[in-house]
Structure formats: structure tokens, C-alpha cells
Amino acid sequence: MVLRPWNERSDAEALHDAVLESLDTLRPWLPWAEAEPGSLRSRRRTLRTFAETFARDEDYIYGAFTPDESRVLGGFGLHPRVGPGGIELGYWVRASETRRGYAAEGAAALITAAIRLMGLDRIEVRIEPRNVASQRVVAKLGLVKEATLRRRFPRGKELRDMDLYTVFREDPLPETSARFLDPAGREISPQP
């Protein structure tokens, strides 16, 4: 798997296909999927915003691709919105590529990068208690459930519970074979 920032010019169509194919699996868990299906044009605008926020160090959104980068496997993000020393990790995998280890592989790469390359202390993942697939991903990587944040996550008229999972820099880091590219397409290694 290759993880790299999205390219607004060359990735819009491939991302569009991956999202359209996955609406049924994404909608229950990801608020942004409720507004889907967007147009290809709006997809391009979204990728431009991703590139801008990445360049400003505000939000780090990555695409996950097959090794030759011809097919989108899913999307991953590191979101610095959870207080000093921490970052929130998010992920989705396209419907036709689930249960092949991609979420665990990409999440392991981003956790390692956040600690080794960005010098962060804590990675958080927020998961709804009913989202068994995502809970299995973090359990496999050794994250620990810290708390259930009750009635904290607005979805429509509801306020849903959210489980908070964390891993800290002194914890054993999960192994990954994902390749990791920086915004200029240079290979970087989050491994020691």
C-alpha cells in the first residue's frame, strides 16, 4: 500500500469512484458521507482544500493506493484538533477492498509517522460503540479504550456516544509495510 497526500489534479476521478462505490458502508459512521454523492467537480474542490490545509499544517489527509497508485484503496487523516501533544486518526477503506488488512496497515503507518516524524505524544481514534469493524482495527494495533464519551457526537437530531481509543509514544508501535510519500512525492520512512 502507498500512502500519500491527495493530488487535486490526478486523483479526483479515482477518489470519486471509490466513494460512490462505498456510500452504504461509509454513511453510518462518517458525517461527511451523509452529503454524498457529490459531483466530480466538488470532489476536485475538496482535494484542493485538502492540499491547502496540508500545506498550512492544519490537517493531514492522505490517500491510500495500490503499489502502482492506479487504484484508490481508501482515505486516512491525521487531524490536529485534540489538544496539545495529540492528534486524531481517521480512516475509511473502499467497500470492495475491506477485510484485506488495509485499514490496519495504513493506521499503523500513520501512528508511527505521528510519533516518529511529527514528535507527537498521543494518537486518538474516536469510534462509535456499534462500529465493530473499526474497533477491531484499533484492537489489532494495540490502542486502549480510555472512555466512552456519552452523547457527544451530533448526527442529525441525535447525540451519539463515542468511544475514545489512544496510543502513547512509549507504547509498542505497530509494524507496517506501507510506503509513505511526502507532498512532493519523496519517499519517507516512518520506521527507525
Ligand X SMILES: CC(C)(COP(=O)(O)OP(=O)(O)OC[C@H]1O[C@@H](n2cnc3c(N)ncnc32)[C@H](O)[C@@H]1OP(=O)(O)O)[C@@H](O)C(=O)NCCC(=O)NCCS
CB nearer ligand X, residue 131 or residue 191: 131
Binding ligand X (rule: CB under 6 A), the pick from 86, 101, 142, 174 is 101
- Whole-number Å distance between alpha carbons of 127 and 119: 24
Burial class (CB in 10 A: 0-12, 13-18, 19+), 20: middle
Our finding on whether 45 is near ligand X (CB under 6 A) is: no
Residue span 110-129 as binding mask against ligand X, x where in contact by CB under 6 A, dash where not: -----------------x--
Which DSSP string do the residues of 93-108 spell out, in sequence order? E-GGGTTSSHHHHHHH
Minimum distance from residue 34 beta carbon to ligand X (Å): 13
* Interface region with ligand X, contact rule CB under 6 A, candidates 62-70, 95-103, 164-172, 182-190: 95-103
Residues that bind ligand X (CB under 6 A): 25-26, 29-30, 91-93, 98-104, 127, 131-134, 136-137, 140
